[in-house]
């Protein structure tokens, strides 16, 4: 299984079977993305919430690839009205798909699509794929129930925002790490815009003091999980 990071909160998981799961594909209009949307294909697209820097190129990629979009109910309904395939879930729900399971979690944030047509609920996404548990928190502030998530699930990879201003910054992202206790943490949602400038190496230094291993990915880098 491979994980590729496109910058911001955009990741692509490629399973050993070749199935591609894209998360928060903000590529076109993202000044730090090394790829454009037309270079990326997906079988499934997971969207944490409706903000433009997460919904991103979902509709275009889903149309071209006939991908199934998996997200919270209101956003899923909105995506259906745009003519793409969607599966609606909501916070607390878990659902098996042919690639593995998805569970949606809460996220302390807001959600509205760029065209203002859909106000929904922001989410985090826990993926159970092959033998790994991957928790993409979406955009969120720190919340105490992350401790519960850490107790219930042996998270292998935690994808956590560090850019501050709209989400957790480095200090709270370190606290999220100590709450969830993943095997690895990967910082996201930083250095895309001036408002979310953060030093991922400083995050790595601080979180590793707490005994959590950290992998800072280059924009475009792909690693084996």
CB of 26 vs Mn ion, minimal distance in Å: 8
Chosen residue from 139, 158, 162, 198 binding Ni ion by CB under 5 A: 139
Using CA atoms, how far apart are residues 99 and 127, in angstroms rounded to an integer?
Answer: 10
Residue 189 lies near Ni ion (rule: CB under 5 A): no
Chosen residue from 24, 53, 74, 172 binding Mn ion by CB under 5 A: 53
Residue 104 three-state SS: strand
Chosen residue from 57, 74, 139, 172 binding Mn ion by CB under 5 A: 139
72 and 24 Cβ atoms separated by less than 8 Å: no
CB of 11 vs Ni ion, minimal distance in Å: 16
CB of 52 vs Mn ion, minimal distance in Å: 9
Question: Taking the CA of residue 47 as centre, how many other CA atoms within 13 Å lie in the half-sphere pointing to its CB?
Answer: 39
CB of 165 vs Ni ion, minimal distance in Å: 11
194 and 165 Cβ atoms separated by less than 8 Å: no
Pick the stretch among 30-38, 95-103, 133-141, 188-196 that binds Ni ion (CB under 5 A). Answer: 133-141
């Amino acid at each position: 299984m491979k994980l590729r990071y496109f910058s911001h909160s955009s990741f692509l998981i490629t399973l050993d079977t070749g199935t591609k799961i894209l998360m928060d594909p903000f590529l076109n209009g993202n000044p730090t993305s090394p790829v454009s949307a037309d270079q990326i294909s997906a079988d499934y697209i997971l969207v944490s919430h409706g903000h433009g820097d997460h919904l991103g190129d979902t509709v275009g990629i889903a149309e071209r690839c006939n991908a199934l979009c998996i997200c919270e109910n209101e956003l899923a309904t909105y995506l259906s009205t745009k003519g793409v395939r969607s599966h609606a879930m909501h916070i607390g729900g878990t659902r098996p798909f042919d690639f593995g399971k998805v569970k949606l979690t809460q996220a302390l944030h807001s959600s509205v699509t760029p065209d203002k047509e859909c106000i929904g609920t922001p989410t985090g996404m826990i993926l159970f794929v092959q033998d790994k548990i991957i928790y993409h928190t979406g955009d969120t502030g720190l919340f105490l129930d992350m401790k519960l998530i850490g107790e219930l699930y042996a998270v292998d990879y935690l994808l956590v925002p560090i850019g501050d201003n709209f989400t957790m910054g480095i200090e709270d992202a370190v606290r999220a790490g100590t709450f969830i206790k993943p095997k690895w943490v990967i910082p996201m949602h930083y250095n895309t815009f001036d408002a979310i400038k953060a030093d991922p190496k400083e995050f790595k230094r601080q979180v590793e003091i707490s005994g959590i291993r950290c992998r800072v990915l280059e924009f475009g880098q792909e690693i084996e999980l």
